[in-house]
Structure 1
């Protein structure tokens, strides 16, 4: 999927056109100097064909931005940038309606991948005001589109097209200058739409997917140390860089259609809103998000009906260190899927008489603990490693829950991980509770899905390693000892 990586690089680079404009001042010359500095901060070489001041307008022509990082590059050409002194201490900025670029990426054992890009904006209004020390950048963009086409490679043609559109975008960037530039941004977009299509010339297969997000809001806070290139993320974070982003949307819808020799596949999904928060700093990276009212429908030739699933809500929370430290640092990983349901058509495939409870299912995992990191996570050194130099020291199971088809499993625990041997060895205790297991096994036998002798073995194991606490309810204490010994309710199993 090298084309996807390259496409993402192009999208980010295009976004710099608006994002770095926050580095503006209150005169046209100061605006352009600040833009140049901003692009260089993100690792771009900037060349200008011509710069001309006529009256209150500074025109910069044939601007080329070039960025090259470890086997990939991005070149962008802006025909013209106009910066007009409005006479009131502010500057109006405009760029050409169309801008072009080429993204390239080397792929191991394959020809290089190239994407041609065209960025189009219509009716965009950009106004910079404030003071050199506190600059404010206001944007009003009725529509911005980004189109990318994969160019032919040396020995095969892979037609891939990507399209992105943002409508009714308004917002503000504010920057405070100092030893580290502080940038605050708040942007709203009424509609974000995207599509992609491609074909495999060898198999003859094709794919198309598209989707949209409504009422998207973005808030960001950036602390950018002066003189540190942001493309070297490990150096920037160690120098004190901090990136905070919060994204919300009101609704979403997506569709995927694949036509391959194995048969067509179509998928539709939708959601009633969600959010994603991200933080990067020397102290660690943190991702959290949530969604609600998600629905999925998929059709394949293997099934005579569409597969339909729905989830009332889902959320995740992930945090881990990014900086090298011999001392243990905290991490956490949380995921929950609440109210997972499927349509009767799917249930009836293996339960036509409706014997199994079809209540909404729940899955929840909540882990935290301590780990050490042997090198900066975003350093070139780690990028060349097969896996990051991470050692988990402790794991706390704050919550483990799986509830479905009438059975309910819950667990908590705390483990210390010994990393000295050929394999990590845990030491600690996990407490488990289980209810509804016997009822579920009875129904599986009655339905003919599991033979009676296998259920008898399962009941025997349940009796050996689980202690009854009520009607069809059990609990178990799993102990991990030194030397690899494992006890369940005091009985040795290893």
Structure 2
């Protein structure tokens, strides 16, 4: 449901995003026609009464609606009045109501009807269109733009307001987008806001279950580009991708925080987090899906539930990135995956449970992985029918043909493992490696501080003496001493015959 609302809201109000600059005169009728064309192309039905007077085109009793997937309901936006006023300089001001209701109807998992109203409230807002037909730019600003759940009925029974409340707001928002219409509709956009805040609460009247979710991000900035087909079915997203839908969006923010408290199954819990900034990147088209997420100076605390003690952890940087193909292909395509957890620490209370005598170093931990490769999908991942087939299939959904490890680093409790590697895989040979495609390549590894760590773990009783001896024998088999004390180097190779070699010596 959330994804449908987001898509619907974006389709209806993408025009509030804009760039500056005008190239030729626009009329009020031009802008209104562009709105209608866009909304119709994304699956909305548009109705309203038009009246023109003195360079102003007014649409009264405006309704913009569309059916939800599988005919399970509808989503509709209504405005008493929408006005397009020509300024005499080739630009057009667009006046919307300060309050815009968005109604939705659907059914829940038991088949009971669900009806609700989301209300968009705007304070001190302004929007101006400029450019020329087919190349329109929009500038929008508002002191406050807030979305609130203002009504909810289940099985025709109004729900108490304290049962579920949702409020999301942007403060001092400015957006700019240029819309170009040709064989496709393309856009480029920028947005800034002083703050984004959310406040969500629920309280189950039949149980003790409840939750409070609050959070904020400061100094929000977003940039994006994309293309939208001139005709698309909002309930067939895969078809839209095949017809050219694409998006490339980056969101960055300054300080952030979240606070969650609740009760579930009779157990209370609490979660809080802070950060000094972060970013989120997202790319999607018919061929590829990519994410890139990062937070700086983040701290998290957890307590309650099944946790025996409060948990407090922090990291100077934490990030994750993934880029992967999503379309079935006979040709190899690139993929990438990365993880970055820098200067990770946890509270002394947690350390005392693991190491009460403080024998292990409390140095911040770091985990880094940077890997790229080539492979191909055997299914169209974003096609719902093929995704369902993939879940039932007994064969892997993808084949990997190459993997390069640009960087591997695991550093914690006084020891570190680092390395690089490069492998290719023969998917036609799954017998050499017992069902796994036969690899060929190498990995170079350096292990520092392992013997000292084994001594500490053995002294703490966490590792038995015979286990420590076995670990040292294995390191002696796979590695050679480095140039500095307690350093081991190892080059593990797999050759064309499937033999495994450690530092030139065959071990399998």
Tell me if 1:417 matches 2:417: no
Residue of structure 2 in register with 1:288 after alignment:
292
Give yes or no for contact 1:417–1:424 (8 Å, CA) kept in 2.
Answer: no
In the aligned structure 2, how far is the partner of 1:114 from the partner of 1:366? 47
Residue of structure 2 in register with 1:459 after alignment:
472
Q: Deviations over 1:267-294 (max 9, x none)?
A: 1101111122223234523322322111
RMSD of Structure 2 on Structure 1 (CA): 3.2
Residue of structure 2 in register with 1:18 after alignment:
13
The Cα of 1:71 is off from its aligned counterpart by 6.3
Q: 1:349 aligns with which of 341, 347, 353?
A: 353
Give yes or no for contact 1:234–1:377 (8 Å, CA) kept in 2.
Answer: no
Give yes or no for contact 1:361–1:404 (8 Å, CA) kept in 2.
Answer: yes
The Cα of 1:437 is off from its aligned counterpart by 1.2
Give yes or no for contact 1:45–1:67 (8 Å, CA) kept in 2.
Answer: no
Alignment of 1:246-395 (within 5 A): 246-261=250-265, 263-300=267-304, 306-387=310-391, 389-395=397-403
Residue of structure 2 in register with 1:51 after alignment:
50
In the aligned structure 2, how far is the partner of 1:463 from the partner of 1:107? 61
Most deviating of 474-483 and 245-254: 474-483
In the aligned structure 2, how far is the partner of 1:247 from the partner of 1:265? 30
Aligned to 1:327, what secondary structure does the other structure show?
coil
Residue of structure 2 in register with 1:3 after alignment:
none
Q: Deviations over 1:377-420 (max 9, x none)?
A: 33343343344942222222222211000111123222223434
Residue of structure 1 in register with 2:22 after alignment:
none
Residue of structure 1 in register with 2:33 after alignment:
33
The Cα of 1:92 is off from its aligned counterpart by 1.8
Q: 2:439 aligns with which of 416, 427, 450?
A: 427
Tell me if 1:477 matches 2:472: no
Alignment of 1:143-222 (within 5 A): 143-148=144-149, 151-152=153-154, 159-199=163-203, 204-222=208-226
Residue of structure 1 in register with 2:141 after alignment:
140
In the aligned structure 2, how far is the partner of 1:241 from the partner of 1:280? 8
Instruction: Tell me how many residue pairs correspond in the alignment.
Output: 488
The Cα of 1:261 is off from its aligned counterpart by 3.4
Q: Deviations over 1:232-270 (max 9, x none)?
A: 444444444442212111111001112123522111101
Residue of structure 2 in register with 1:65 after alignment:
65
Most deviating of 101-110 and 170-179: 101-110
The Cα of 1:174 is off from its aligned counterpart by 1.5
186 and 98 in structure 1: CA distance in 2 versus 1, 3 angstrom threshold: same
Aligned to 1:171, what secondary structure does the other structure show?
strand
The Cα of 1:362 is off from its aligned counterpart by 0.5
The Cα of 1:339 is off from its aligned counterpart by 0.8
155 and 87 in structure 1: CA distance in 2 versus 1, 3 angstrom threshold: closer
Most deviating of 181-190 and 157-166: 157-166
Aligned to 2:326, what secondary structure does the other structure show?
coil
Give yes or no for contact 1:217–1:248 (8 Å, CA) kept in 2.
Answer: yes
Q: Deviations over 1:404-456 (max 9, x none)?
A: 00111123222223434483324123332212111111111222333323323
Given the two structures, how large is their TM-score scaled by the length of structure 2?
A: 0.85
Q: 1:398 aligns with which of 406, 411, 425?
A: 406
Instruction: Give 5+ residue unaligned stretches, structure 2.
Output: 20-24
Instruction: Give 5+ residue unaligned stretches, structure 1.
Output: 1-5
